[in-house]
Amino acid sequence: MGSVLVLYNYELDDSCYRVRLALSLLGLEWRAVAVDVFPGKEHLSPPFLAMNPSGRLPILRDGDLVLYGPEAILAHLA
């Protein structure tokens, strides 16, 4: 984890909240990218489906590594 982590995030999603909480507690440098889930359904657009074919958030980019799903992201951060 050498670069700034990028979290594709929807503020009202509990899975995104868990990842935001872990990032903050671990004191990591990260930035959030707001995703228009409702009503925009941006998470179902081709660029997001390329990162996560299931069309769900959160998605974390760590350099060239892209992880999706809170369990995979939290395991990576740990």
Q: Average pLDDT in the 42-52 region?
A: 92
Element of type H or E holding 20: helix 14-26
Q: Would you say 19 and 73 are in contact if contact means Cβ atoms under 8 Å apart?
A: yes
The string of pLDDT tens digits covering residues 51-75 is 999 999 999 999 999 999 999 999 9
Q: What is the DSSP letter of 53?
A: T
Pairing of strands 59-62, 5-9: antiparallel
pLDDT at 2: 59
3-state DSSP helix/strand/coil % of the chain, to nearest 5: 40, 25, 40
Chain-centroid distance, C-alpha 74? 10
The string of pLDDT tens digits covering residues 7-37 is 999 999 999 999 999 999 999 999 999 999 9
